[in-house]
Structure 1
Amino acid sequence: MSGDFDDIDKLYDTVREVAAPIAGDDGYSDPLHFAAVNVLELCYDLRHCYMGDREVMLHENGIVPGMRLEGNAISTKNVRYGVNILWTEALFDCAMPRILCERRQRELTKGRRKSDGVSAQARYDVSANHVVLYQSLVYDTLAQAVSPNLHSRIMRLVIEVDSIFRSYFTQHFKQFDTEFARSDEGKRRKLLGPTMKRILEGREDYDEFCYDIRAFAAEHDCPIEHVSIHNGDWPDEIDW
């Protein structure tokens, strides 16, 4: 992911505005709380990105000799900031905000005149629409990175997922994310489809996983969110 300072800063603000009300400390009772907290991890990467802690690049900005610049010395290159994000994380962070944006639209529509069930204020909400733009760019990039068949299967998973995010145990996502990160770049291309299927479908293995987490938390008298799953260490270096 890359962009100029304003691009990254705006995305940081809008993702945080959509997710933070549900991920806040007072939101533990909200069934979307833990999934929203995971989305805020994107903000961590974005903040370090526009601070220049990840990648800083120069690119041509279109300024060429002969333009009317009124004698000012203007650089022909702009600064872009970049950060690498795993596909598993990018797709999870696209699936979940869709649900958060839908909730935001419902809140903005309450008590207001509406067309097709959505008020004008909700329809043209800058934060929700900026997140939708980000999602669109991710899905477009996915189409360029994988086969049409795999793109179709992953999009179906991302678009249809809803109920699994209710009280979602993010430890389930983390175990597959770590496994994905430890794989080399070539293997990840083969793993992406099956990995996203296991993360988002929430079938019997997910139900069993949640049961084990609850049992462990009860046995050790600790909150569910404090239970972690050891699935190997996060790699010091990722083969991008």
Structure 2
Amino acid sequence: MISIQSTENLTGARISGDFWDFDELVHAIHHITTIDESDSPYEGARIRVLSVCYDIRHAAQGDHNIEFVMNGMHKDIMKSQNVIVPEQNVYLSVEILWPELLFTTIALNEFIQLYKGRNNFHYWNLHMTTIQKFQANVIDCLKDSLKSQDFKLFMSMIQLHQTSIVDYAIQYIDLLNLKFIHMSLEERQASLSTFAYKIAFKDTEYIAFKKQILKTASIIKSPIYEMELSLEYPEEIEW
């Protein structure tokens, strides 16, 4: 079962699970985010979500962290069943920056709505259920990382209104990621709810940023999601 917990320095969240947990989630994300040409305004958000999916897939391949967790077996069970088995399971994990994870969680809401419009949708669809459980784990982790009043306000606002990810300036998430990385633990604790608001709702900073990106994109005749900023992430992140 996938679990999500904030990292020690609140820089991001650590997603943990076994190979099959991650394999199921990766397949679900790819399935839910499949779009056709008529949905091209969602391509930028889709690419961004799939970048997180890429990290999860590599975690499943053992390219990130390996953990050992108790599996509920103990000597009495082994004795009664006359078997000798490990008392721990191997879990894999990967850290994702909080702004990136929040955008992914919110964007998946809209991809689910698009998915529901397809002919093959039904309410017991396994892929959609897998995605919603993943989102619930993220929100539950966010609840533990925010002050109670901040979390309640965020949830009440997001249930009433949420920004569409159509033609989203995904480079804005890079700016938020880098700002968050360079904060102290205390600053992150004080600012996480603000970052959550910025991602869920388009504020004046985002609007000004997108206007600038669109201006440049129109000059070089490039889709907005293909615009690259000269930004560099640190080689090592203190999670």
How far apart are the structure 2 equivalents of 1:153 and 1:91?
Answer: 16
How far apart are the structure 2 equivalents of 1:59 and 1:204?
Answer: 45
How far apart are the structure 2 equivalents of 1:204 and 1:101?
Answer: 27
In structure 1, the partner of 2:150 is 150
How far apart are the structure 1 equivalents of 2:107 and 2:160?
Answer: 11
1:90-116 Cα offsets, whole Å, 9 max, x none, are: 21111111111122112147xxxxxxx
Q: Which amino acid aligns with 1:236?
A: E
In structure 1, the partner of 2:84 is 73
Answer whether contact 1:27 1:33 (CA < 8 A) is retained.
no
Aligned residues: 224
Residue among 42, 47, 60 paired with 2:57: 47
How far apart are the structure 2 equivalents of 1:211 and 1:144?
Answer: 35
1:159-199 Cα offsets, whole Å, 9 max, x none, are: 45544311111112221122112223332122212222223
The alignment status of 1:91 with 2:107, answered yes or no, reads no
How far apart are the structure 2 equivalents of 1:239 and 1:152?
Answer: 29
Answer whether contact 2:163 2:201 (CA < 8 A) is retained.
no
How far apart are the structure 1 equivalents of 2:43 and 2:155?
Answer: 24
**Could you state the TM-score of these two structures normalised by the residue count of structure 1?**
0.83
1:1-240 aligned at under 5 Å gives the runs: 1-19=15-33, 21-22=34-35, 27=37, 30-67=40-77, 71-108=82-119, 122-230=122-230, 232-240=231-239
How far apart are the structure 2 equivalents of 1:212 and 1:29?
Answer: 24
Unaligned runs of 5+ in 1: 110-120
1:20-71 Cα offsets, whole Å, 9 max, x none, are: x12xxx6486222211211111111111111111110111111111325754
How far apart are the structure 2 equivalents of 1:125 and 1:86?
Answer: 29
Between 1 and 2, higher relative CO (CA 8 Å, sep ≥ 6) is seen in 2
Q: Which amino acid aligns with 2:68?
A: L
Q: Which amino acid aligns with 1:168?
A: Y
SS in 2 for 1:74: coil
How far apart are the structure 1 equivalents of 2:28 and 2:195?
Answer: 28
User: In structure 2, do the counterparts of structure 1 residues 161 and 47 end up closer, same or farther at CA, with 3 Å as the change threshold?
Assistant: farther
Q: Which moved more, 1:62-71 or 1:9-18?
A: 62-71
1:121-175 Cα offsets, whole Å, 9 max, x none, are: 5211110111001111111111112211121233345445544311111112221
Answer whether contact 1:182 1:235 (CA < 8 A) is retained.
no
SS in 1 for 2:56: helix
